[in-house]
Structure 1
């Protein structure tokens, strides 16, 4: 990771995955209103469940809100009876108190039941919505052109699948109900407080603006320190990542002292900004409590005065204090939920942008068959490029008027400097990209007349970066043809000269390969991918610098296997190491998107042209 990217290194937790400190930046949507409308529209199949859930949430909140006032009735009954008993004019009515308490317990049980039902229903809705989103995105990703992935990093795409969908799911399951409950609580508490005493309500509300002014002042001053903390944290994380990923280089050049000094600088910056931001944000709770306590004192004094004058009852004072203590809670929840909704809108916007991306050109309605009814292939492997023009962007054409006729079963090598367009040629052949103009034919049929799956089934491709997934060697090899028998897999491995190596492993073909393939060498990994391609038994084989990451001895094994496995197949070999393609039937020499020379090795060397320069320069460098 470069130093310039460090500030963006840390991944902020989602809105439900951790607390955001005051002043912490919240990702906002570019079109909050439009995105939320789109998300609400997406949930249309679940409107009935959502409405029922909201109804239960409202009843749960109402029953909870009226609880304190009813408990105040019990306290009033108890205090009245106690005073009468002391005066000798009566006794405590425990039956009445029991009735009130039982009624109160019933209300709270109903409130809990309603809360459980709405939580259960919203959990189901949120999981179903996230399931549908991931399904739609999974289907979408297979329809996107390769050009999309040229513009987006893998991490960016994965983030939309995981972080963004998780944010939406957690908001639907928790924040929506909380938002509704907070609104009902806010108005419910205010109404219940007014039914007790408008004077005490006014006293309680007076302190709220004071609290907001003080908290806003603190947030304003802490904002800059939270921003510095995020930037410093990015520097620390970026530096640590660089030092661990390049640990060997750092050790080789004796960079320990410099690395430690730089880390201490970043760490000091993080410390200075973090303690200031945390200290200032920590002031908010005691400030709020202090102002709140002032309100409680005023309410208690005023309540005592009103009770002495018979305007309210003693139980009303206790109920009112409970309402005052709870009144700030829905306000804080609303503020937090609005931040969550901002992040949710941003996440939903990214998901819907992904789903709205332009898809690949539609398949042909009547695709050209590649096999006869008896299963025999109709394709020999003859390939023709006719006036092909292509550029990854319209303003930068890298393949210019490319034309070539290649007979079936021929071995064609494509060579040239980096950026000449070698790999692009085979990507176009497999229709990973659409041509700007021109046509590519397979056996005289335009490749656009094949379905993409049929076309790509004709090819076996081995890339420079060997790819293996987490599983056994047998499973990795069988990926080339899922219906292959164990014997066919072993035969392909033997033909690729990798069978002996596999059998020397403790578990043979059942040996597990980890995600990083760190338990086998790069050369062995490349041999496995070549065996996998051979198992597919393709009509056209593409080797994109397949031997560039292997040692000389392994390269010899690959060359021997290729001699046997390339028989009766059209083969395209892309290689920087020109010594590996001297036996090719045809060599295409590319430069700046054009074919500048064509011929076999001897013919090209005799021309003493660009190919000769490339060939000789490699041996001079070695």
Structure 2
């Protein structure tokens, strides 16, 4: 429990750092809250004077009318001040939320890939969208009711003390009971709201995964199992939500019970004061109004506290994301890679995704400019990992990877990656036009250059058949385009940029045989004079490679060209014969 309390305090301090950016608006909001409280508390005095005028002085319509006119004016001014305060509070709340979301999104852009690979997309989306929305609701409620609630309590105490100290003492005596009830409920609700938030994130992640892989789910008849799993997550979310709502719902009736005790105490002692002549009827009416106004904020504040528990729990999850360690920063004197010839060297490279599970150890290779290097081996041997290391999506644990005899950790990531052209088995297209997706690597490309690149990749013919040609808008990840068409667009990007080094990871896996032969011809032209890394399962596509690296369990076990490896009659020969044996 102490740990939870410390955690909540730490989160609140972080929230205050964002709120401090809008100090002027917050000061104006507090000032308006003071005005609202003072005017609201002044109304019962005017009503009390009107009542005393009726009871003790006869019915003087002019005096009563004067008091009522003043009441109407004060109520009007109070309503205007309330509207202004609510507007300011809304503005501050959603600017704070905007700042947090922007910071979270900026952090996602610089997080290392190991963080994103280790968590589901839905869970991250839930933190940035749902949790921040829940936090905004709690923060807005806090701004709207917390300030006025606290000031109302202080103000009513001051006004009551001016009227009757003894009865005020009765009111104050019962106050700690309300505070105890609110504190007890707050402690219970925080842990439940935290579990609720986590379960909600898990549910979002599961829905995202199922929708994104709907074809696989249907193909393997996984619908029933998926529904059972979804129901299990839903049951847990319902259980946590029910507990959180149960404890938070206790707030209002419990504090209302305490308020009723206060009100009864004031009425009883006030009645005796009126009988004994120590207080007028108008003063008692005023005091009863203050007693009601004094206890009402405890209801609101206790309600705010329970909402704040949810808000703090959600804020904690988004701050966890914001405070994640970003990718290793580039050195201040980082080199900008220019005039690349394509010399790549790996020196005693060791790497593993999980420290206790070794993957690549003592990997050594020297690639000369313009060489075609093929990487083959069974699934999980480290082929794609080598590509991740070359592109510096991950940093090596030991050793070094050098381009032009310079460690890639000493150069800017942008300059390194801009010198690679990469086509992966998995395609990536953004929502936009065909043209916008092609020029991603070369925004200043001319219309003629785009068409030439599309013709080289054999994508031009299918693009021209689209409703608006190159201006056709496609949805996220290609929309209704076939997998082969999406891959052709990714190949077109590379054809347009013509970088000095290429990475082809099963680049033609989704393309028909006839088109693949044509693209291989185009690739052969593109690869001339360029260092190329080819990851392939179909060994027929790499027979012309200058160097073939045969990997197994993270190590290079064989190395050479196609003919020399076949003559060795080793692991490569087994792989080749398994594909072409009759």
Select between 571-580 and 121-130 the one with higher mean Cα deviation: 121-130
Partner-residue secondary structure (3-state), 2:478:
coil
Q: Is the 8 A contact 2:122 2:207 kept in 1?
A: no
Partner of 1:322: 289
Partner of 1:422: 383
Q: Structure 1 pair 130/310, CA: closer, same or farther in 2 (3 Å)?
A: same
Question: Hey, what's the Cα distance between the residues in 1 that align with 2:240 and 2:424?
Answer: 47
| Cα distance, 1:589 vs structure 2 | 0.8
Partner-residue secondary structure (3-state), 1:479:
helix
Question: Hey, what's the Cα distance between the residues in 1 that align with 2:202 and 2:316?
Answer: 29
Partner of 1:617: 578
Task: Give the alignment of 1:285-304 within 5 angstroms.
Answer: 303-304=270-271
1:509 matched to 2:470? The reply is yes
Q: CA RMSD in A?
A: 4.6
Partner of 2:429: 468
Partner residue of 2:37 out of 52, 56, 61: 61
Q: Structure 1 pair 560/29, CA: closer, same or farther in 2 (3 Å)?
A: farther
Partner residue of 2:50 out of 52, 74, 83: 74
TM-score by length of 1: 0.77
Question: Hey, what's the Cα distance between the residues in 1 that align with 2:235 and 2:135?
Answer: 37
Partner residue of 1:518 out of 468, 476, 479: 479
TM-score by length of 2: 0.82
Task: Give the alignment of 1:175-254 within 5 angstroms.
Answer: 175-176=142-143, 178-197=145-164
Q: Structure 1 pair 208/60, CA: closer, same or farther in 2 (3 Å)?
A: closer
Question: Hey, what's the Cα distance between the residues in 2 that align with 1:200 and 1:408?
Answer: 93
Partner of 1:580: 541
Partner of 2:66: 99
Q: Is the 8 A contact 2:122 2:204 kept in 1?
A: no
Aligned length in residues: 581
Partner of 2:306: 339
Partner-residue secondary structure (3-state), 1:414:
strand
Question: Hey, what's the Cα distance between the residues in 2 that align with 1:275 and 1:433?
Answer: 43
1:493 matched to 2:454? The reply is yes
Partner-residue secondary structure (3-state), 2:534:
strand
Partner of 1:148: 115
Select between 491-500 and 207-216 the one with higher mean Cα deviation: 207-216
Deviations 1:245-294 (A, max 9, x none): 78777777888899999999999999999999989987886787677667
Select between 241-250 and 315-324 the one with higher mean Cα deviation: 241-250
Q: Is the 8 A contact 1:232 1:266 kept in 2?
A: yes
Task: Give the alignment of 1:209-608 within 5 angstroms.
Answer: 303-304=270-271, 306-371=273-338, 378-608=339-569
Q: Is the 8 A contact 2:435 2:470 kept in 1?
A: yes
Deviations 1:144-194 (A, max 9, x none): 333333444434444454445555655555514532221112233344445
Partner residue of 2:9 out of 30, 33, 50: 33
| Cα distance, 1:570 vs structure 2 | 1.6
5+ unaligned residues in a row in structure 2: which ranges? none
Select between 431-440 and 252-261 the one with higher mean Cα deviation: 252-261
Task: Give the alignment of 1:37-52 within 5 angstroms.
Answer: 37-41=13-17, 43-52=19-28
Q: Structure 1 pair 448/301, CA: closer, same or farther in 2 (3 Å)?
A: closer
Q: Is the 8 A contact 2:251 2:299 kept in 1?
A: no
Deviations 1:82-106 (A, max 9, x none): xx3xxxxxxx222222332333334
Q: Structure 1 pair 394/262, CA: closer, same or farther in 2 (3 Å)?
A: closer
Q: Is the 8 A contact 1:523 1:554 kept in 2?
A: no
Q: Structure 1 pair 304/103, CA: closer, same or farther in 2 (3 Å)?
A: same
Q: Is the 8 A contact 1:416 1:589 kept in 2?
A: yes
| Cα distance, 1:529 vs structure 2 | 1.2
| Cα distance, 1:607 vs structure 2 | 1.9
Partner of 1:18: none
| Cα distance, 1:586 vs structure 2 | 2.0
| Cα distance, 1:216 vs structure 2 | 11
Select between 241-250 and 402-411 the one with higher mean Cα deviation: 241-250
Q: Is the 8 A contact 2:251 2:302 kept in 1?
A: no
| Cα distance, 1:539 vs structure 2 | 0.9
Question: Hey, what's the Cα distance between the residues in 2 that align with 1:357 and 1:436?
Answer: 20
Q: Structure 1 pair 228/72, CA: closer, same or farther in 2 (3 Å)?
A: same
Partner-residue secondary structure (3-state), 1:484:
coil
Q: Is the 8 A contact 2:427 2:477 kept in 1?
A: no
Q: Structure 1 pair 37/294, CA: closer, same or farther in 2 (3 Å)?
A: closer
Partner-residue secondary structure (3-state), 2:498:
coil
Q: Structure 1 pair 277/419, CA: closer, same or farther in 2 (3 Å)?
A: closer
Question: Hey, what's the Cα distance between the residues in 2 that align with 1:345 and 1:223?
Answer: 8
Q: Is the 8 A contact 2:372 2:533 kept in 1?
A: yes
Select between 137-146 and 443-452 the one with higher mean Cα deviation: 137-146
Q: Structure 1 pair 288/503, CA: closer, same or farther in 2 (3 Å)?
A: same
Q: Is the 8 A contact 1:422 1:590 kept in 2?
A: yes
| Cα distance, 1:51 vs structure 2 | 3.3
